[in-house]
Structure 1
Amino acid sequence: MNTWLPIPTDTDFSLYNLPFGIFEGPDGQRRAGVAIGNHIIDLAAAADHGLFGKRRFFRRLFEQPVLNEFIAQGKPLSTRIRRRLQQWLSAPEAPENAAALLIEQQRVRMHLPLHVGDYTDFYSSIEHATNVGRMFRPDNPLLPNWRWLPVGYHGRASSIVVDGTPIRRPHGQILPKGSEIPIFSASQQLDFELEIAFVIGKDSTLGQPIPIEEAEDYIFGLVLFNDWSARDIQRWEYVPLGPFLGKNFASSISPWIVPLEALKPFRVKGPRQDPAPLDYLRTTGARNIDLALEVSLRTPTGAETVICRSNARYLYWSMAQQLTHHTVNGCNVRVGDLMASGTISGPTPDSYGSLLELAWGGQRPISLSDGSTRTFLLDGDTVTMRAHAQKGDVRVGFGQVSGTICA
């Protein structure tokens, strides 16, 4: 596809992508937009110009400060909007209304695209689960249930923040090495976790599980997700009920929701599952996504180092399996709910998706481009995650999610 709009060849936001987000322009009003190259298409303005028909309906829909109501209209509508925008962008020359509909991304502020009602975090990378297990249970790294079900826990939706939001170092109880009495302290082992998350696109009914063959009908799109983690707080508190204050102080997401349909060209089969899952979790076909993932760390000196390169194709449990298992007991989901994958680590040390693994629990400090080293994050450090999928000339990316640690 060609367009009259100048777009960088390496942009995440190509004509094949057209992700949805919420931006605030110079007028101070939040509204819906679609990213294209270095610009945003103002969907409320596009509605005013009759691009989608039913001007009043679409204007009201796109002037909402979150995308939940738009997403709830269903995939047929969001697909229609994307196709209409592709047609508009593929015209032989710039339409007369181009200046009224486009705004440069550098002139806007991005906001959370959703009201997140509920958030669940999974633990779906066998490499990550095995690495963590080896550190703490060398003789039994994978617990007996791990290969049978997508392990997960319910997180805190209220502390999910958008790209660029500063992350305050959390305080909590920590058990010093060799002590039997905990102390109250700021975390000294602050970490990131490289994840993706999918957005629920339609409500399900309480008491009715979502069958595996219908699971992707409920997935609207994906975002990048950083599950910030305080390892020392987590270590003391997680037995017997799992993560709590070591996790719920902040999670960061990228501002643009990439529609699931935009990722269709990049679908691949996941790892072989052994033993075979129970019947309700069995799938066929390409359920994973060949999505290149990258993490960089910028120190207060300004030096930035890529410290991890991984891929979403490594996930052992697919999105469909995660969602089906989540609802198999009758738990319902709602539009805007967020389901994160868990840390996505690959098979090699440079693909490990957390500092816990990269520095192996603090035993192997990683070297950065300015000569400094890290085992965990220091104040002033900025973590940035990026993701893109590419097949030939077709590129679909997520932009980035970043956060800077402050005291």
Structure 2
Amino acid sequence: MPTVVVVRLPSKPFDEEVIHAVEKGLNLLDFEPNYETVLIKPNLCSEKIAMITDRRIIYALARYFKNRNCNIIIGENPVINTPSKKLFSSPEIEILRRKTGVEVVNLRFKKFKKVKVLNPILFREIELSEYAVTADAIINVPIMRRHALAGLTLGIKNLFGLVSLRQRYFMHSEGLYKGLIDIAKVLRDKLKLTVIDGIKATIDGGLIPIGMIVMGRDIVATDTIVSYLLGWDPQELELLKYAQEEGIGISNLDQIEVIGITWSEIEALRKGLRKWFRPPMRSIEELVRELGKIEVVLGEACPSCIRSLSVVLSAFSPKDFENSPELAILVGPKAEPVKNKLNIVIGNCLKKYRECGIFVGCCPVYTHDIRVALEYAIGKVKKPIYLWDSLKKFIHSPI
């Protein structure tokens, strides 16, 4: 049975309190490293402080491993349109370098190596950072963050920063969640520890205090406990569902031991945090009745696409569709085009119908792109400009 440790902290902890909390959690896990080379992989998503793992946690981990004679690298490949050179020369990163005495590496401009995936879900090969390939241990240190597509981004999603930009493009296009599980498969034996920063959690670029650090050896179990704390049913999240199915780890709550917090405390926290991290979602059926002129064909659509479509439709009113043609929105691999209607085809699982209407690619599809497709269909914009198309240039000309 995997163990997950939760260490509580004040909402504004002093530096020594954070360092003590990390060491306490490692002791409760009975974690004793015996590795020559350690890669610490934080969230360094962008220049915004809300998108960066608390540097005090990174410092505490670096000190812990240095004291045990490990060779340490801190490395990250940030979000595709983040000016990474600027980020890695920022005061925040310079402080991290100075405090830890450890090299902080921008993986984007380092070497990547093609690695075969055994029993892949989607990708037979993955382009991984050489630092990840050669490390004896990877210490995964994400920040708790609400995510427009995945629902939450935690330990498994944080592995995305270990692949090349080209690989990211393929994964976003063909199947992000299955691609992430393939990454986890390749790195399974190296993923020794996941430490999730919940001192403050990120919502839409802002921070809310939670006051905890959560850690475990099993990346899936650790993500599962945090997902539940933040108001989700872990089985709603595709990443956790696929991860357990593929044997990466455990996502059943009753098969995970939790130390440092009682289940009654978890339930109390969950009740308060749910409104921020798992806000109520209007049903597609209700929205269709309200808006009129729209038919939604749900052909075994995944939860991500249903969530995204609900968010997008909730932002429209019946007035927006008064002068529009009759629309059919196709979602899910079993959906089929509707005759005599303008079809909006959502997701790469339906790319065989891309010529049957307005096609919006990727898997999962960005909410921005669904909204733009709808605006184009009703004549609100003359030309659809999709988010992922605008990001392609950064693959060939990284910043």
Same fold by TM (over 0.5)? no
Could you tell me the TM-score, scaled by structure 2's length?
0.29
Q: Name the structure with the higher strand share.
A: 1
Q: Name the structure with the higher helix share.
A: 2
Structure with higher RCO (Cα < 8 A, 6+ apart): 1
Could you tell me the TM-score, scaled by structure 1's length?
0.28
